[in-house]
Amino acid sequence: MVPHLITALTGPINELEQRILDSMPAIERWFRLEWMEHTPPFYSSVDVRNAGFKLAPVDTNLYPGGWNNLTPEMLPLAVQAAQAAIEKICPEAKNLLLIPENHTRNMFYLMNVAQLARIFHMAGLNVRIGSINPEITEPTPIALPNGDSVLLEPAIRTRGRLGVKHFDPCTILLNNDLSAGVPGILEDLHEQYLLPPLHAGWHTRLKSRHFECYEEVAKRFGKMLGIDPWLINPMFNQCGEVNFAEGTGFECLTANVDALLNKIRRKYKEYAINEKPFVVVKADNGTYGMGIMTVRDVKDLEALNRRTKNKMSVIKDGQKVSNVIIQEGVLTNERIHDAVAEPVVYMMDRYVVGGFYRVHAERGVDENLNAPGASFVPLAFADSAHLPQPGAKPGASAPNRFYMYGVIARLALVAASYELEATDPELQDAD
Amino acid sequence: MVPHLITALTGPINELEQRILDSMPAIERWFRLEWMEHTPPFYSSVDVRNAGFKLAPVDTNLYPGGWNNLTPEMLPLAVQAAQAAIEKICPEAKNLLLIPENHTRNMFYLMNVAQLARIFHMAGLNVRIGSINPEITEPTPIALPNGDSVLLEPAIRTRGRLGVKHFDPCTILLNNDLSAGVPGILEDLHEQYLLPPLHAGWHTRLKSRHFECYEEVAKRFGKMLGIDPWLINPMFNQCGEVNFAEGTGFECLTANVDALLNKIRRKYKEYAINEKPFVVVKADNGTYGMGIMTVRDVKDLEALNRRTKNKMSVIKDGQKVSNVIIQEGVLTNERIHDAVAEPVVYMMDRYVVGGFYRVHAERGVDENLNAPGASFVPLAFADSAHLPQPGAKPGASAPNRFYMYGVIARLALVAASYELEATDPELQDAD
């Protein structure tokens, strides 16, 4: 199924697409050279928004779920990339332990776990799923709606190693974003490969740090392409010490929202864009689409209702919000059957292996789509992830658009690699 | 299109398939460890024969043509593997020069050249085609039957470098098997990456050396799997100084054919195989399906007609045959619409990226199918190259069979890497 797409492709985005297509060899070389200096995250997904006049990543996930939303055609690419990734890190690997999130009743999430296990099994590893959920005290098979099943086994810690009964893995793959911090069972695993490293978890990550790195990447990439980096970079500010529940710290928030809205207005004026600017306020360490609100006017902040305040106060795993990032809102002008859509690009190591559209019929073009009610339309990415069609008219070709999305997602991947270097405790110790 | 397959899957092949599927993680790990010690050829294709009771490679090509026979679904895998291959060898690469065979009128071959150029362009390189055919004296566009076109440009040698006008590549990809030896224009290119290296050409290669290496690989692999390596290894003998035109050197040939037929008979008896043994006599340095004949009885050798003698005397580029390999014939029991078929597996670096069936309606199960009149049915390999279906009954599942073919092809790839090490002039000098 190829989704029916409508994109408001007017103005600069056509130029950008043309520039990206024309520069493909230079772009691919640029990435190759980046990966000589920096290590890509083991796997990732990037939410991309295409405003027609601007194209930018808005969120980068280093513990991607949703692998079950990729089409079967994408599986061979994911398997091949997984083989490349494993070979690079631990060619002698035999056994892989997958540590999922603790939710045991979310069938969509568990289908993702089953799909990940399948990918790594097909890449040639023995795969078992080790749950760190205290409720899982014995091997627990769970039947899935698609006819598959997963077996959750309690993860067992023995001295320096983690495993499940009769299974001693050399590699541990986390699909748990550690929002609540690193559980003791995962600490000090010096004898095994832990992927991604613990400091990729949301107890350490900050969206502001990621987008600071991304800004640097976008500037360098923009310079190479000869484009205004703003066309691919969402501007942002940040505030610490905001307490939504008690309504404190709002001066900072208001001032920064106002300043950012003004900056966007100036950019819109420069490019003669006739849209209403907006910003998105997000918990700086938030995930799962939680702790996010759209602000179109500073006055909106004065009139926050209890429900919104509650929504912004607490995020995944009950973590309190105090630091927020105020990010330039990027409209999404992608539509599938009239519903607002945003592309999500999946990567394994440095390779784009697939993607899908996150579609939300009840949300606006300036709202977060990662919310209950979202559905997923797989992209026909297999044909096209890296495969632009030279000669095809910009905007007219889905493959060309997908290539462009893959480039933007990979820029976010480079930013994530900078980010992980900046927070790597081992590199810190060396300083 | 998924080809309609009939395989006579009786006896050991089912067991072999089951063993291979059960051992997948061990097999993949085995390959990963091999590639830590050895460098896979840059690209390759392997002809595989499936006799039902035995599965073996019969030819390994290090300058594969026929890329145009792969389905569009396989393209992303090939591109991803090409990116991995390029990145490993020369990440700073920008420009790639493709050196094709000298035939300028074989449209099938030129479609292969166009497809290779497309793959490497999509991997992010500027690709030009540099012909070393003296007839190509200026840029020559050639329209192809599928609507594509290729531009052949005369390759230009300037001091230590090879290029075409206004194009200085850092990497040169040979798709010319050098049957006639290394032309001067390709010698001493120390400043550029030449892929594959010159000693991979048929002026240096010997089938007997390849299958000697393969035998070693098959023994080690068989030991790991706990199987008789004969199930995956075609036995062989060799003879030098055979002159088909003059009928000299036939004593050696007859003795070796007889000895090998007897060895096969004993093996058939051991496995209660009720088939007539045969051997295939091939020019030891032959290619393009030339210089090949099937021998079912030593008496056949006495009765060679003039046509067969001529066919065996001279191979590609007018090279004379004097050394031959006598290889155990492996029946092919694959059929597509009643025509005899053999799978051909394509690899880029260490990755299986696709394949097709070579089909010949007018040939028997014990004959060479690489001959005029052959056609090509793409395999639905994209879904399945590395993707066995655990739980599916052996023999019942096309994906499982394809996985098995990919394993056998990769064993031949490992053998080719040993072979290239043994003939590498730089490694020889170091001894």
Sort out which chain A residues have CB atoms less than 8 A from B37's CB and list them: none
Whether B93 contacts chain A with CB within 8 A? yes
Q: Does residue B383 have a pLDDT over 50? A: no
Q: Cα distance from B348 to chain A (closest Cα, Å)?
A: 12
pLDDT confidence of residue A90: 86
Mean pLDDT estimate for chain B = 87
Query: What is the interface size between A and B, counted as CB pairs within 8 Å?
Result: 119
- Partner-chain contact B32 A86, CB within 8 Å: yes
SS3 A319: coil
Residue of A nearest to B96 (CA): A25
Whether A21 contacts chain B with CB within 8 A? no
SS3 B281: strand
pLDDT confidence of residue B388: 52
CA atoms within 13 A on the CB side of A256: 22
Whether A383 contacts chain B with CB within 8 A? yes
pLDDT confidence of residue B8: 43
Residue of B36, B87, B384 for testing the chain A interface, max A β-carbons within 10 Å: B87
For A341-396, the DSSP string reads EEEEEEEETTEEEEEEEEEETTS-TTS---STT-EEEE---TTTTT---TTSPTTT
pLDDT confidence of residue A381: 45
Tens-digit pLDDT profile for residues B2-32: 344 445 444 566 788 888 888 989 999 999 9
Tens-digit pLDDT profile for residues A165-178: 999 999 999 999 99
- Partner-chain contact A32 B86, CB within 8 Å: yes
Whether B22 contacts chain A with CB within 8 A? no
Degrees, nearest 5: CA angle A359-A365-A369: 40
SS3 A229: helix
Calpha distance A58→A232 (Å, rounded): 10
pLDDT confidence of residue B12: 60
Q: Does residue A1 have a pLDDT over 50? A: no
- Partner-chain contact B382 A73, CB within 8 Å: yes
Which of A337, A252, A328, A251 is CA-nearest to residue A296? A328
Calpha distance B236→B229 (Å, rounded): 14
- Percent share of chain B, pLDDT over 90: 57
| Assigned token pair, A2 | 């190829």
- Partner-chain contact B77 A77, CB within 8 Å: yes
Cβ atoms of residues B75 and B119 within 8 Å: yes
Mean pLDDT estimate for chain A = 87
Tens-digit pLDDT profile for residues A203-234: 899 999 999 999 999 999 999 999 999 999 99
Report how far Cα B30 is from the mean position of its chain's Cα atoms: 22
Tell me the pTM.
0.88
pLDDT confidence of residue B250: 85
Highest mean pLDDT among A18-27, A92-101, B237-246, B363-372: A92-101
Tens-digit pLDDT profile for residues A102-157: 987 899 999 999 999 999 998 999 999 999 999 999 999 999 998 889 999 999 99
- Partner-chain contact B25 A94, CB within 8 Å: yes
Residue of B96, B387, B400, B407 for testing the chain A interface, max A β-carbons within 10 Å: B387
Average pLDDT over residues A411-430: 90
Residue with tokens 């170091």: B430
Q: Residue A196, preceding bond cis, omega within 30 degrees?
A: yes
- Higher-scoring residue by pLDDT: B62, B370: B62
Q: Cα distance from B245 to chain A (closest Cα, Å)?
A: 49
| Parallel/antiparallel/unpaired status of strands A126-131 and B140-143 | unpaired
pLDDT confidence of residue A403: 85
Tens-digit pLDDT profile for residues B159-216: 889 999 999 999 999 999 998 889 999 999 999 999 999 999 998 999 999 999 999 9
Residue of A nearest to B71 (CA): A383
The answer for residues whose C-beta is within 8 angstroms of residue B86's C-beta and 6 or more apart is A32, B93, B120, B123, B124, B125, B171
**Least confident among A141-155, B146-160, B308-322:** B308-322
Residue of B nearest to A93 (CA): B29
- Partner-chain contact A36 B384, CB within 8 Å: no
Question: In the β-sheet with A149-154, what is the strand arrangement from edge to edge?
Answer: A140-143, A149-154, A126-131, A95-100, A171-175, A193-195
Q: Does residue B281 have a pLDDT over 80? A: yes
pLDDT confidence of residue A162: 97
A386 vs B25, B29, B79: nearest CB: B79
For B53-101, the DSSP string reads S-EEEEEEESS---GGGS-GGGHHHHHHHHHHHHHHH-TT--EEEEEE-
